[in-house]
Amino acid sequence: MKETALPTQADLEAARERLREHVRHTPLLPLTAPGVSRDRRVFVKPENLQRTGSFKIRGASNFLARLDPGVRERGVVTHSSGNHAQGVAAAASAWGVPALVVIPEGAPQIKVDRTRAWGAEVVRCPNTSADRIATADRLARERDATVVPPFDHPWIVEGQASIGLEVHDDLADAANVLVCVGGGGLIAGIAAALRRRGSKAQILGVEPSLAADAAESFAAGRVVDWPAEQVTRTIADGVRTQAVGALTFAIIQQSVDGFVTVEEDEILDAAAWLVQDAKLVVEPTGALTLAAYRRLLTGDAPLALRSGPTVLLVSGGNVEPSRLAALGARRLPS
């Protein structure tokens, strides 16, 4: 892949400066997970503690900050299953501009409610990528507003890259960085930031086996689209995207080392452990990386962890109260 697929170092650092007043620098928290030996350091990057409860506010805030003021004042439109919706709503609220968000049926109600709480107007649509995109594009044309893409845009990737810059600042010798993958904006940003900083860390994408379109794309060397009825089977609603983007895939091909897929019970066990033992409120998507880490420890994966510190990205914590209660009561494997 061409080196130009990666954002420049200057672009990434400039985006981080734009975000300083809008996002939190989340810490790296040491994790004592079952099966972790004393000589292995593992950290979680808890973006569930971010404003809006997920990393998505980073890309959304950078996108709005990049808009021409006259264009921004006309308002923004986006489509999202929930976390990007809240990120755009919060960013629009900070700028004092109107936001309309298309949220597909089947999204967790807590994400819908919190999007409205930020002042955004919400419109529902069928749960397919085509319906989401078409509805958002139509409403943007009707209102002369700007569409904020959920992942496949340089400004979104720049915003998510601020996570990678923070990881490198706090743990420059990270040997492994595990990141969940939906549309690819998060892992593309983190990978771009780490590679631009010169990091040699092994960067691994994580998906549920029920929604492993990015893993299949990586193996095939081209973007593979999965049907909506397939990806919506997973409990990890934050990664039900049917395909990665063209830009994000180019960066993934250039900078990511591989993929790990996990099963639904592994996701739930990891989420339950994070809730019960780590005392972190996480949604199932946010537990994907711990589930993958556990699988890598057992050797039940085609890849292996490199020697040295490991970072697990916890993407968000916007979980329904009933789901959180179930995770709190779930019996953990011995």
- Per-block average pLDDT, block size 10, for the chain (334 residues)? 74 96 96 63 96 96 97 95 91 96 89 93 90 94 96 97 98 97 97 98 98 98 95 94 96 98 97 95 97 92 92 96 95 85
Instruction: Name which of 254, 265, 304 is nearest 288 in CA terms.
Output: 265
Taking the C-alpha atoms of residue 298 and residue 308, their distance in angstroms, rounded to an integer, is: 17
Taking the C-alpha atoms of residue 284 and residue 134, their distance in angstroms, rounded to an integer, is: 28
**Assigned CATH topology for domain 3-54+153-329:** Rossmann fold (3.40.50)
Q: Using CB atoms within 10 Å of the CB of residue 3, give its burial: 0 to 12 exposed, 13 to 18 middle, 19+ buried.
A: exposed
Whether domain 56-147 has CATH 3.40.50.1370: no
* pTM of the model as a whole: 0.94
Q: By the 8 A CB rule, do 212 and 236 touch?
A: no
Q: Report the chain's terminal Cα–Cα distance, integer Å.
A: 44
Where in the chain do CATH 3.40.50.1100 domains reside? 3-54+153-329, 56-147
Q: By the 8 A CB rule, do 256 and 236 touch?
A: no
Strand, coil or helix: what is 203?
strand
Q: Which residues are catalytic?
A: 56, 81
User: What pLDDT is recorded for position 284?
Assistant: 97
Taking the C-alpha atoms of residue 105 and residue 124, their distance in angstroms, rounded to an integer, is: 6
User: What pLDDT is recorded for position 216?
Assistant: 98
